[in-house]
Structure 1
Amino acid sequence: MQIHPLITDSKSLADLCGRISKSEFVAVDTEFMRENTYWPELCLVQIANDKEAAAIDPKAPGLDMKPLLDLLTENVDVLKVFHAGGQDIEIVHNLTGQTPFPLFDTQIAAMALGQGEQIGYSNLVDAYLSISLDKGARFTDWARRPLDKRQIDYAIGDVTHLSMIFPMMLDELRKTGRGSWLNQEMERIADPSNYVTIPAEAWRRVRIASRKPDVLGRLKALAAWREQEAQDKNLPRGRIIKDETMADVASHPPRTQEDLGKVRGLSAAWKTNDIGARLIHALNEAQPLPKNEMPERDPRKPGLGKEGALVADLLKLLLKIRSREINVASRLLARSDDIEMLAAGVRDELSILEGWRYEQFGRDAVDLVEGRMAFAVQDGKLRMTRTER
């Protein structure tokens, strides 16, 4: 495989993308910094097909990134291959408003091939290529220039290895007939809505015990205010105000800005400065959360009760047995919410009762709930047996 020098000029990047645009796939990885910012700072992009690989410096003066971004988001003939690509996809979405498409995530594929729930990249490389990676450059400062040879070699290695592993995984998926098992998961991570932050909805990510409309209304206002402050200042949310402090302020709101100086977790300076004034304004403008926005349990999911919880536990045991038998990650096979709803008597719109999940797990799960299957120990192993009602 040809390894190019670090690309820092527009012509070299355009030429590389022109060649790779004729490939069946391109392996993609990024290096970024986000410890001190709201928006991830893109520092390096690495791409490779089966013939060539390169690292691209997005910080290079005058570099036109459009050919690369078009390759990732507009060229539907080239499959984009990532490993645990959520943050890489988020960066592309931040730059373009689109997600790479079509895409393939090797971490998700590994779930269908008996490699566990969330296999790390180093373990994946070891499993498929018997190569132990040097992780020394992983936590370097990718924003500092110039990048040294060790950093660049480490970064390019991520995509050269990925470009070798992907065909091997694809061949396994074809032989086992499990390629279609991944469609739903790949579509999920490609959904652009996963990477859009709406300030008015930010409160839903904050844990709070209260279900009072006035408290939740204040939380909604505070979370939206924090999101805007974090974006404007390009700071992590927690640098503005931590979740637990925000939930406490929503539950026990200070009456005046002066009172902010008494709130644990806030700087005493907030009792007189502009950011404190904006927080108090957000609180004063808050309205009780409307009834139609109140968080509710899934309307399909009635309370389990003690007996239902026991049934759910039996279903989870069945899931472990079946996952072991077919060598697939249990998380790919069934989600806890679906199992609990099945235990509660729900039969409509459950993913485990559709397609391949029904064939591999759902049918037996229903039979267990309805008394047509039971657990038994055979040759020292826990197995499922058919029963007669």
Structure 2
Amino acid sequence: MSTDIKLHKNDLPDDLQLGNVIAVDGEFMGLNVKRDPLCLIQISSGKNDAHIIQLDRNNYIAPNLKEILENENVTKIFHYGRADLAHIKYYLKAKTKNILDTKIASKLARSYSDNHSLKTLIKEFKNVDISKQFQSSDFGGELTSAQLKYCANDVIFLHEIHSKLEEILIRENRINLYKQCLNFLNTRVELDLALFKDDIWAH
């Protein structure tokens, strides 16, 4: 089944219905939040679709996108949300609420592995070998079809992957620890934005 990929300029359409659980990812010009701007946000409803929002970097006015990110009744699934959430807060001025994170879930659930990349999780749980060729490409200009496909792959599998990881967390009695980590995630983002990058719990 081919993925339904739609590119939206500046914001999500007014009439788009995505449901109460969405997968979210962002693309930036680099990992330094204050230097490297947020370029794209991609969202999937979990129905083999990807809505890619190419943001207006002159003003970052995207009220529909901002509303859904801040809506406590909509669950957002990220993979390594720490970087995405920092860029979203800094550029969109939005505090994302009701967050799940497959990387955190993987580190707690898959203690049998030291690899928690999205590529690895997709291979393990979906038996699909995705290309990460465009992970370090330029997302600041016109997008190629290959870049759009890469962006789509970052969100279309997250619903199912999170469900599989949650099953392991429940089975291994680690689900409450996972929930507590999620409660700290926005604080971790605030620490990043305040330039406290190191582990504050370290000696």
Structure 1 SS opposite 2:131: coil
* In 1, Cα distance between equivalents of 2:93 and 2:139: 24
Deviation at 1:98, TM superposition (A): 4.5
The CA deviation string for residues 225-245 of structure 1, in whole angstroms up to 9 with x for no partner, is xxxxxxxxxxxxxxxxxxxxx
1:129 counterpart (122, 126, 129): 126
1:64/1:126 CA distance change after superposition, 3 Å: same
List runs of 5+ in structure 2 lacking aligned partners. none
Deviation at 1:36, TM superposition (A): 8.3
Supply the RMSD in Å over aligned alpha carbons: 3.0
List runs of 5+ in structure 1 lacking aligned partners. 207-297, 299-334, 338-389
* In 2, Cα distance between equivalents of 1:42 and 1:173: 32
The letter for the 2-side match of 1:106 is T
Q: Which residue of 2 aligns with 1:165?
A: 161
Structure 2 SS opposite 1:31: strand
The CA deviation string for residues 101-156 of structure 1, in whole angstroms up to 9 with x for no partner, is 11111111112212445611111111111111112111211112x21100001111
Q: Which residue of 1 aligns with 2:40?
A: 44
Deviation at 1:14, TM superposition (A): 2.6
Q: Which residue of 2 aligns with 1:7?
A: 8
* In 2, Cα distance between equivalents of 1:65 and 1:77: 19
1:112/1:98 CA distance change after superposition, 3 Å: same
* In 2, Cα distance between equivalents of 1:59 and 1:182: 35
Within 5 Å, give how 1:1-389 maps onto structure 2. 3-8=4-9, 10=11, 13-16=13-16, 19-20=17-18, 22-23=19-20, 25-34=21-30, 38-51=34-47, 52-59=49-56, 64-73=61-70, 75-115=71-111, 116=113, 119-144=116-141, 146-191=142-187, 193-197=190-194
The CA deviation string for residues 163-183 of structure 1, in whole angstroms up to 9 with x for no partner, is 221222223333444211212
Contact 1:8 1:60 (C-alpha < 8 Å) held by counterparts = no
1:62/1:196 CA distance change after superposition, 3 Å: closer
1:65/1:118 CA distance change after superposition, 3 Å: farther
Contact 1:9 1:62 (C-alpha < 8 Å) held by counterparts = no
* In 1, Cα distance between equivalents of 2:103 and 2:8: 28
The letter for the 2-side match of 1:54 is H
Deviation at 1:99, TM superposition (A): 3.0
* In 2, Cα distance between equivalents of 1:36 and 1:169: 30
Structure showing greater radius of gyration is 1
* In 2, Cα distance between equivalents of 1:48 and 1:37: 24
* In 2, Cα distance between equivalents of 1:139 and 1:44: 14
TM-score under structure 2 normalisation? 0.82
The letter for the 1-side match of 2:14 is A
Contact 1:44 1:58 (C-alpha < 8 Å) held by counterparts = yes
Contact 2:10 2:55 (C-alpha < 8 Å) held by counterparts = no
* In 1, Cα distance between equivalents of 2:37 and 2:66: 16
* In 1, Cα distance between equivalents of 2:32 and 2:101: 28
* In 2, Cα distance between equivalents of 1:136 and 1:45: 19
1:62/1:36 CA distance change after superposition, 3 Å: closer
Deviation at 1:57, TM superposition (A): 0.7
Larger deviation: 124-133 or 149-158? 124-133
Q: Relative contact order: is structure 1 or structure 2 higher (C-alpha 8 Å, sep ≥ 6)? A: 2
1:37/1:135 CA distance change after superposition, 3 Å: same
The CA deviation string for residues 327-352 of structure 1, in whole angstroms up to 9 with x for no partner, is xxxxxxxx875xxxxxxxxxxxxxxx
The letter for the 2-side match of 1:165 is I
* In 1, Cα distance between equivalents of 2:50 and 2:32: 30
Structure 1 SS opposite 2:13: helix
Deviation at 1:32, TM superposition (A): 0.6
Q: Which residue of 2 aligns with 1:384?
A: none
The letter for the 1-side match of 2:136 is F
